[in-house]
């Protein structure tokens, strides 16, 4: 679990640094940083989406996963938790729910979170998670500048998500072949692109409700 703990702490540290910078950066610059972050997130998503080889599986996973997510309403539950945090800390200057939900999705969607957690649980090797911690920590600085304190609370989601995968590593290993991880990464890339479009306020997408799509390749290859 040490890799996950370090990852979560890196997000907290980066978020605090971002909040300190936020106090000395004008609103106009903050707004531009928000848009620049959105473009960067889209670029990352495009790169990851090219990892897959089975386009049909990607399409089916996105359709079925979206239906499942809408029925469960994952986005709504994340928003409610973010709003709960916002109410508890009585933050009036920023949308805590926005920062929490957005960064939860960015930090948890991706092959590094999945493969790194499995590797940590099986072998005790935390190299991937340590690398992810550095990336997430740096990212959380710019995120906190544009979205506020909600970014810090996304570390809770990272800890719970990656910690659960680490504990379930023995079971997950047999299901996560290189091919499965590639397809999961491609679907994750599409979801990350959706996050970027939300940054740019093109049209609001309930990204949380797309999350089940990431795990459908596991089911597909387990059956076929």
Q: What is the pLDDT of residue 98?
A: 77
For 85-123, how does the pLDDT look when each residue is reduced to its tens digit (9 = 90+)?
A: 767 666 555 577 778 888 888 888 766 787 788 778 877
Q: Indicate if the pLDDT at residue 62 is higher than 70.
A: yes
pLDDT in tens, 148-181: 888 898 999 899 988 988 888 777 777 777 888 8
Number of other CB atoms surrounding residue 116 within 10 Å: 26
**What is the total count of domains within the chain?**
1
What's the residue count for the chain? 224
Average pLDDT score over the chain:
83
The region of weakest confidence among 39-43, 87-91, 219-223 is 87-91
Helix axes of 55-72 and 178-199: crossing angle, nearest 10 degrees = 60
Q: How far is CA 42 from the centre of its chain?
A: 13
Cα 11 off chain centre by: 12
> Which residue range forms the structural domain that includes residue 14?
2-223
Prediction pTM value: 0.74
Measured over the CA atoms of residue 141, residue 146, residue 152 and residue 153, the dihedral's sign is negative
End-to-end Cα distance, the chain: 33
Rounded mean pLDDT of 17-21?
86
Token pair recorded at residue 129: 């998670």
Inter-axis angle of helices 212-223 and 178-199, nearest 10: 160
In terms of Cβ atoms closer than 10 Å to its own Cβ (0-12, 13-18, 19+), residue 222 is exposed
Tell whether the model's pLDDT for residue 33 goes beyond 80: no
> What's the confidence (pLDDT) of residue 89?
66
């Amino acid at each position: 679990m040490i890799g996950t703990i370090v990852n979560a702490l890196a997000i907290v540290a980066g978020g605090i640094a971002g909040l300190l910078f936020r106090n000395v950066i004008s609103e106009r610059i903050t707004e531009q940083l928000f848009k620049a972050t959105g473009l960067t997130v889209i670029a990352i998503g495009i790169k990851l989406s090219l990892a897959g080889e089975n386009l049909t599986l990607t399409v089916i996973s996105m359709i079925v996963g979206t239906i499942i997510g809408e029925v469960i309403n994952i986005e709504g539950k994340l928003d409610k938790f973010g709003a709960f945090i916002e109410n508890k800390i009585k933050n009036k200057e920023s949308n805590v729910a926005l920062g929490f939900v957005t960064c939860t999705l960015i930090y948890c969607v991706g092959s590094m979170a999945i493969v790194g957690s499995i590797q940590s649980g099986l072998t005790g090797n935390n190299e991937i998670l340590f690398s992810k911690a550095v990336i997430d920590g740096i990212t959380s600085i710019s995120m906190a500048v544009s979205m506020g304190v909600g970014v810090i609370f996304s570390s809770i989601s990272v800890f719970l998500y990656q910690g659960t995968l680490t504990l379930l590593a023995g079971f997950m290993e047999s299901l996560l072949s290189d091919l499965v991880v590639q397809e999961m990464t491609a679907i994750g890339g599409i979801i990350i692109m959706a996050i970027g479009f939300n940054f740019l306020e093109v049209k609001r997408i309930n990204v949380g409700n797309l999350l089940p799509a990431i795990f459908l390749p596991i089911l597909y290859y387990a059956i076929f």
